[in-house]
Structure 1
Amino acid sequence: MATKPLTGTKVFLMLVAFFGLVIGVNVTMMKLAIATLPGTDVDSPYAAGLAYDREISAAQDQAARNWQVSAHIERRADGAATLQVDARDANGRPMSGLKFGGRLERPTDKRADLQIELSEAGIGVYRGNAATVAPGQWDLVIEGDARGMRVFLSRNRVILN
Structure 2
Amino acid sequence: MAAKPLTGTKVLLMLVAFFGVVIGVNVTMMKLAIATLPGTEVDSPYAAGLVYDREISAAQDQAARKWKVSAHIERRADGNAVLQVEARDAADRPVTGLTFEGRLERPTDKRADLAVELAEAGSGVYRGNAASVAPGQWDLVIEGDAKGERVFLSRNRVILN
**Same-fold status (TM-score > 0.5):** yes
Alignment partner, residue 33 of structure 1: 33
Alignment partner, residue 80 of structure 1: 80
When the two chains are superposed, the root-mean-square deviation of aligned CA atoms in Å is 1.6
Conserved? CA contact 2:139–2:158, under 8 Å: yes
Which range moved further: 95-104 or 3-12?
Answer: 3-12
Rounded Cα–Cα distance in structure 2 between residues aligned with 1:97 and 1:158: 27
Distance 1:115 1:121, change over 3 A: same
Q: CA deviation at 1:145?
A: 0.4
Runs of 4+ in structure 1 over 4 Å off? none
Distance 1:20 1:132, change over 3 A: closer
Rounded Cα–Cα distance in structure 2 between residues aligned with 1:152 and 1:129: 20
Matches within 5 A, 1:10-159: 10-159=10-159
Distance 1:123 1:134, change over 3 A: same
| Runs (5+) with no aligned partner, structure 2 | none
CA shift digits 1:29-67 (9 cap, x unpaired): 222222222234444332121122222221111111111
Distance 1:39 1:84, change over 3 A: closer
Conserved? CA contact 2:38–2:109, under 8 Å: no
Give identity over the alignment, percent: 86
Taking structure 1 as the reference length, what is the TM-score of the superposition? Answer: 0.90
Q: Secondary structure at the match of 1:70?
A: strand
Rounded Cα–Cα distance in structure 2 between residues aligned with 1:14 and 1:54: 63
Q: CA deviation at 1:20?
A: 1.6
| Runs (5+) with no aligned partner, structure 1 | none
Count of equivalent residues = 161
Which range moved further: 88-97 or 48-57?
Answer: 48-57
Conserved? CA contact 2:79–2:131, under 8 Å: yes
Rounded Cα–Cα distance in structure 2 between residues aligned with 1:139 and 1:129: 16
CA shift digits 1:52-105 (9 cap, x unpaired): 222222111111111111111122333322111111112111111100011112
Conserved? CA contact 2:79–2:133, under 8 Å: yes
Which range moved further: 33-42 or 15-24?
Answer: 33-42
Taking structure 2 as the reference length, what is the TM-score of the superposition? Answer: 0.90
Distance 1:112 1:90, change over 3 A: same
Match for 2:27: what amino acid?
V
Match for 1:101: what amino acid?
E
